[in-house]
Amino acid sequence: MSDSRARILITAHDLAARLKAPESLILLDVQDEKASARERPLIPHALATFLDTDFSGAPSKRAGKRPLPEIADLQAKARSWGMKPDSLVVVYDDKGGAQASRAWWTLRWAGFDNVRILDGGLQAWLAEGHPIAQDPAPAPGGGTVNLSPGHLRTIEADEAAANAREGVLLDTRGRAAYLGAPQEPGKPATGHIPGALSAPATDALADDGRFKSSQDLRADFAALGADGAQPIGVYCGSGNAAAHSIAALSAAGLEAALYVGSWSAWSADPARPAAIGEERGGEQGA
């Protein structure tokens, strides 16, 4: 595994080996919303965490559905999970990696680098026949980690628009969301930021649900013009799939900025144009 990839991902095999001595490991099972949590098997020693309550601030039209959390709140959560400066944190989900990737990105944005995404998520763990648990582990408390904001680059709406014109802006939602449709009166615009390229986050995954090789990822991104020669910005619906693509870009040795508000914030502003159709510019709508 390349150095860049090893700083992003951990295999199910390697996680199982680390769990034989779990004292320095913090394992976080990540779901999107606490209100919609459902029962599912967990990896032993995993703590239950949620994007809406643990890794996000209060949603708003301006900030979008999943804005960044207040750093003091995130630090308090991290300490409740037992995180210390020398901890290894592993995050995973059962939804293709978007939720885990947003947790990974948020911790790195807050200055904690020793965090890995379980490659292939819960499905990879189950496919290798590792044991499961029915209940999450209790949060141990006692963490001493100090977090601070701004360690990964973010962009706002104007910068995303500029990226689309002057660099590379990747829309990591599914194709249908990118294509959109003519706007209906009284409803948010659909489509994409003018100039953005369609690059679904799921394209970074192989058939087994794990990330493609770093070489394949770099080739795929280069085909979109995202080869590092120009600034790369990434967005999706609310910042989850975009974080997954940033993980894929990082595994390929590329850096990108996250438009945290993403389409949920862009489409809430009636002054922001929406392009529809196959072309980067498409048809302009209010």
Mind telling me the catalytic residues? 236
CA distance 270 to 189: 8
Looking at residue 30, what DSSP letter applies?
E
Helices (H) and strands (E) in the chain, counts: 11, 12
- DSSP per residue over 212-238, as a string? PPHHHHHHHHHHTT-SSSS-EEEE-SS
The tally of CA atoms less than 13 A away on the side-chain side of residue 167 is 20
Nearest alpha-carbon partner for 236 in 172, 160, 158 = 172
CA–CA separation, 35 vs 54, rounded Å?
A: 13
Q: CB-based burial of residue 279 (10 Å sphere; 0-12 exposed, 13-18 middle, 19+ buried)? A: exposed
Surface-to-core class of residue 208, CB atoms within 10 Å of its CB (0-12 exposed, 13-18 middle, 19+ buried): exposed
